[in-house]
Amino acid sequence: MVYCTQCGAPLKEGDRFCPVCGTAVGKVSREEFSVAGKDLVDRIGDLLHEGNVTRIIVKDEAGKVLLEIPVTVGVVGVVLAPWLAALGVIALLVAKCRIVVERRE
């Protein structure tokens, strides 16, 4: 599911504007990475520092969503601290996982 980058409201596939806040919706591209559990937190940190990511989804090997992180403009480290702690726990529990990264163009 795609979400508004401004307010986080869920968007339908063909929406050009957010129905809640009116923000223009750009094209969304998705990338998927396979990563070992021990490298999960480092890889997520690298993706967050890139700055053009709008959502990060962590899935297990079977495709089950373990964690979904909405990344909005102006997010600071204090807000992301609980997400990173949860990622640390997930990294201990899974051997391999997949990271799906959504970017708006």
Identify which has the larger pLDDT, 73 or 99: 99
Residue 1 lies in a domain: no
In a domain, 80, yes or no: yes
CB 56 within 8 A of CB 100: yes
Q: Give a yes or no: residue 34 inside a domain.
A: yes
Domain count, the chain: 1
Query: pTM here?
Result: 0.64
pLDDT for 68: 82
Residue 28 class from Cβ within 10 Å (0-12 exposed, 13-18 middle, 19+ buried)? middle
Give me the sheet containing 96-104, strands edge to edge: 28-36, 96-104, 53-60, 65-70
pLDDT tens digits for 22-72?
A: 888 777 778 888 888 778 778 877 887 777 787 888 888 888 888 887 776
CATH number at residue 32: 3.30.1490
What would the pLDDT profile of 24-37 be if each residue is shown by its tens digit?
877 777 888 888 87
Three-state secondary structure call for residue 33: strand
| DSSP H or E segment with residue 70 | strand 65-70
What domain range includes position 59? 27-104
Burial of 30 (0-12, 13-18, 19+ CB in 10 A): exposed
Would you call 2 helix, strand, or coil by DSSP? Answer: strand
Mean model confidence pLDDT for the chain: 76
